[in-house]
Structure 1
């Protein structure tokens, strides 16, 4: 199938008038967007946003070394730990949703439905506040304040995104052709072996882009650590803006740019992994097609 045919499977190709109207709408949309951006830039310029004096303090070498760099590292640490916890919980409760045992299915469904319904910021704040009243980790484990904040930020990120990933995994298993599992049972594999050896590898390969896209969201959600004063980017930008009152908005823009760079780099990694997965699956498909073609040709020769 050609690229042109692939792009018109779900809709009819535009005719001459349709292409003309689409081009006009695109030009009008671009003009409107540029006009809005120009207006915003003029308002910011009138407020002195682009004055170099307001950018000097947030970009000072000491501020970068003592505030921005630690904030980036703390953000990446929370992202890494939250991602690991979310993946573990996602796989665990995702397969719990499709378990043969009713109690396991109900418990997993309850976890997924409950934590998906809660706002992430509320989940982080409630758990942090409860510990603040009872002091389980602080008093019994002797954790520092920073470790305590990191713990409950990671816990909130992992529990919430784990519920989302579990639902993604359940949907991926449901979308898998039932013949795959039946083939496993046919060769004598048990249910657990079928799930581990047949279903899981295919589901993870097919759903890897969706999982990685959810991890991009998790990276941005680390900014919610602001509510418990975890020293991530948003909290650090607020500190810089408080120390340098005339550079508060500039500090927020710098933090937004850093978030954009990290999220963009992670999204490019998603695209790279997806392409590599396509290359790995393209060769077996091509080999299977070639084998069937050759077999068909040999059968035809035999008939003749």
Structure 2
């Protein structure tokens, strides 16, 4: 199929009037967007938002060294630990969702349905405060305040995103052609061996882009550590804005830009991983022939 044919599969190509209307709509939309940006910039300028004096304090070398850099490192630490916990829980609960053992499947289903229905900020707050009811405090466990906050932020991120990743894994297994598992059973593999040797490698490869995209969301969700005063970027920006009252909005903008850079860099990893996976994917025609032969019970010569 040529590129021209691909572009007209779902809709007919625009005629002269259609192209004219599309051009007018694009111009009008562009003018509206530029107008809104100009209006916002004028409002900020009238409040001295762009004055250099308001940016000096948040970008002072001492503030960067003692606040911004530690905040970035704490954010990345929470992201790394939360991602690790979410992936482990996602794999375990995801395979529990497709288990042949009914109690395991039911428990995994309850976990996914319950935790992915909760607001993440509520889950973080509950996990942070419930320890006090059982007497688990910083003194009894020997935690520092920041270590305790990190622990419960990671728990919230891992438990919630683990439920999301488990559902991604279940959907990936369900989308895998049944001939793949049938081929394993045909050569005498057990159910566990089929899942471990045939299903899991293909599912992990196919769902990796979706997993990485969810990890980008997890990175941004580390900002919810603000509610338990974990020293991540948003909390640190609030401290800087409190110390320098006339630079509060500037500190928030700087934090937003740092989040953007981190999320953009991670999204580039997602794009790179997708390209690498496409290159490593087996030839679709050969795979289709093998699957058709296994399904029909016929041998296929390659």
**TM > 0.5 between the two?**
yes
Partner of 1:206: 206
Deviation, 1:178, is 0.9
Aligned-pair CA distance for 1:10 = 3.2
Q: 2:153: which partner in 1?
A: 153
Shift of 1:44: 0.2
Per-residue CA deviations over 1:48-69 (Å, capped at 9, x if unaligned) read 0000000000000000000000
1:244 aligns with 2:244: yes
> Whole-Å Cα distance in 2 between the matches of residues 61 and 209 of structure 1?
38
- List gaps (5 residues or longer) in structure 1: 293-304
Residue 285 of structure 1 corresponds to which residue in structure 2?
Answer: 283
1:13 corresponding residue in structure 2: 13
Q: Give the match for residue 88 of structure 1.
A: 88
Once the 2 structures are TM-superposed, how far is the Cα of residue 203 of structure 1 from its aligned partner?
1.0
Instruction: Identify if the C-alpha distance between structure 1 residues 74 and 95 changes in structure 2 by more than 3 Å, giving closer, same or farther.
Output: same
What residue number does 2:234 align with?
234
CA distance in 1, matches of 2:279, 2:23: 35
Within 1, Cα distance between the matches of 2:228 and 2:135?
15
Residue 2 of structure 1 deviates from its aligned partner by: 3.0
Q: Alpha-carbon deviation of 1:137? A: 5.5
Deviation (angstroms), 1:23: 2.0
What's the CA shift for 1:70? 0.1
Which residue of structure 1 aligns with residue 297 of structure 2? none
Task: Sort the Cα spacing of 1:74 and 1:164 in 2 relative to 1 into closer, same or farther, 3 A.
Answer: same
CA distance 1:85–1:6, shift in 2 (3 Å): farther
Report the Cα offset of residue 136 of structure 1: 2.0
Distance 1:10-1:99 versus aligned 2 partners, 3 A rule: farther
Structure 2 match to 1:23: 23
CA distance in 2, matches of 1:56, 1:62: 11
Partner of 1:268: 268
1:286 positional shift: 7.5
Query: Cα offset for 1:30?
Result: 1.3
Gaps of 5+ in 2: 291-302
The CA RMSD measured in Å over matched residues stands at 1.7
> As a proportion of its length, which structure holds more helix?
1
Report the secondary structure of 1:117's partner residue: coil
State the TM-score, normalizing by the size of structure 1.
0.91
Residue range with higher mean Cα deviation, 65-74 or 17-26: 17-26
C-alpha distance in structure 2 between counterparts of 1:195 and 1:112, whole Å: 20
Greater CA drift, 234-243 or 186-195: 186-195
Aligned length: 289
Counterpart position of 1:76: 76
In the alignment, which residue of structure 1 is the partner of 2:46?
Answer: 46
Residues 286 and 163 (structure 1), Cα distance of their counterparts in 2 relative to 1, 3 Å cut: closer
CA separation of 1:8 and 1:269: change in aligned 2, threshold 3 A: farther
For normalisation by structure 2, the TM-score amounts to 0.92
